Amino acid sequence: MRIRALAILGDPPSWEAARLRDAMEDWAAELSGRAREASSAGVEVWTRRISLPGLPGDDPSLVARVSSASPDGVLVSIGHTRRPEVLEEAALQGLYAYMPIQGPGDAAAAASAIVRIAGRDPELATRVAVSAGGHIIATPYFPVSSAPPGRRILAASILYASDVDASSVAGSVASIFRRAEGAVPGAAFDYSLSPWMEDSVAALVERAYGARVGSPGSMHAVHELNRAIRRGAGPGALGFNEVMLPVEEDSALKAMAREGSIRASDLLRLSSVCVAGVDMAVVSAGPEEVRRFLLDARALSASAGKPIGIRLIPVGDPPGTRVDLGRFGRATAIAL
């Protein structure tokens, strides 16, 4: 078990360049200190992050200011934006951002922006996402992460799929959560079950319940995992607190993409009841197809009454095409 992300979700006292830099450096120092404390307790902190509440006035000119103020070695999200140009500029500046979509106009604007970003470099599109249904979400999971206005929260997420005992899922999940809480006392946790390559959630679904993701029984399996997460979560939980299935961050899902045995729509169906969204999927699609997909996700968010995050990397090539995703390695385009 590792702390996947240790984050400050913070609203800076000032957006003036020097004061913004000072605030972010102070937050980074606090994160480093808390990471050392966790390490002394035998728990590694994998990444340090800062999430902001969105830019004042949604001003695109402030993106470069945030980038300049960002501390070395810390991932930074500007939070949510309703302007496609802010989304694009954030990705180009090495930051994270997301757009809440509440209607067809939002979906069209977001789809066009995401396709343009991926057209520059598919890896850039890994930095942006949408929140279907328009939810503003406080979580250490990027890109769909915003700080609550006027507040500062120490938040954490956990990487633990390989540590779950398939014969005693609920008990082992609760034990993992208590250990994580002890390593970072006072933090608000998003207890979501997320993968990183061989630390695979899709493999856990099959190991614990005998069902491959997308096959009959997999919705039940993910539902049961979510029940274990909800039962084990502490009272200060924030964010999604659900199973996450980012295609290009999970070795088993990457293999399914190479086989052509999974589509983005398969994951969207799971999102209707029991998955946090459709994440890190390289899809063969243009702006119109992405727009329609986002509208479907918005409809599911409204009917399920919960946030659904969508992070697509659209490419103009057919399913099965191999795509370089930089730090995520070689990816495979799948059908919507």
Angle at 50 between CA 28 and CA 189, to 5 degrees: 105
**The length of the chain, given as a count of residues:** 336
Residue 274 confidence (pLDDT) above 80: no
CA distance 10 to 160: 26
What mean pLDDT do residues 304-332 have? Answer: 95
Single out the residue of 81, 137, 126 nearest to residue 106, CA to CA.
Answer: 81
CA distance 168 to 164: 8
Residue 276 confidence (pLDDT) above 90: no
Residue 304 confidence (pLDDT) above 90: no
pLDDT tens-place string over residues 176-228: 999 999 999 999 999 999 999 999 999 999 999 999 999 999 999 999 999 99
pLDDT tens-place string over residues 215-248: 999 999 999 999 999 999 999 999 999 999 999 9
How much of the chain, in percent, has pLDDT values that exceed 90?
93
CA distance 26 to 38: 19
CA distance 179 to 244: 21
| pLDDT tier for residue 122 given thresholds of 50, 70 and 90 | very high
Single out the residue of 36, 62, 49, 58 nearest to residue 9, CA to CA.
Answer: 49
Q: What is the DSSP letter of 257?
A: H
- How confident is the model at residue 35, as a pLDDT? 98
pLDDT tens-place string over residues 60-107: 999 999 999 999 999 999 999 999 999 999 999 999 999 999 999 999
| Bridge partners for 5 per DSSP | 47, 157
CA distance 104 to 14: 34
| pLDDT tier for residue 272 given thresholds of 50, 70 and 90 | confident
What mean pLDDT do residues 301-330 have? Answer: 94
Q: Between 84-92 and 62-69, two packed helices, what is the crossing angle to 10 degrees?
A: 30
Residue 305 confidence (pLDDT) above 90: no
Given the candidates 3.40.50.1390, 3.20.70.20, 3.40.50.150, 3.30.200.20, the CATH classification of the domain at 2-332 is: 3.20.70.20
| pLDDT tier for residue 8 given thresholds of 50, 70 and 90 | very high
Q: Which residue has the tokens 């398969």?
A: 266
Angle at 50 between CA 44 and CA 51, to 5 degrees: 130
CA distance 159 to 16: 36
Residue 53 confidence (pLDDT) above 90: yes
- How confident is the model at residue 203, as a pLDDT? 98
- How confident is the model at residue 275, as a pLDDT? 78
**Buried b or exposed e, range 154-191, using 16+ CB within 10 angstroms:** bbbbbbbbebbeeeebbebbbbbbebbbebbeebbbbb
CA distances from 257 to 104, 158, 308, 319 (A): 29, 25, 21, 9
Residue 273 confidence (pLDDT) above 90: no
**Secondary structure of residue 255 in the 3-state scheme:** helix
What mean pLDDT do residues 56-63 have? Answer: 97
CA distance 88 to 85: 5
- How many Cβ atoms from other residues are within 10 Å of residue 18's Cβ? 9
**Buried b or exposed e, range 265-289, using 16+ CB within 10 angstroms:** bbbbbbbbebbbbbbbbbbbbebeb
- How confident is the model at residue 89, as a pLDDT? 98
**Secondary structure of residue 7 in the 3-state scheme:** strand
Residue 324 confidence (pLDDT) above 90: yes
CA distance 158 to 64: 30
What mean pLDDT do residues 113-141 have? Answer: 97
Which residues have CB under 8 Å from 316's CB, separation 6+? Answer: 284, 286
The domain ranges of the chain are 2-332
Whether 154 contacts 34, CB under 8 Å: yes
- How confident is the model at residue 283, as a pLDDT? 98
Kindly report the average pLDDT of the chain as a whole number.
96
- How confident is the model at residue 113, as a pLDDT? 98
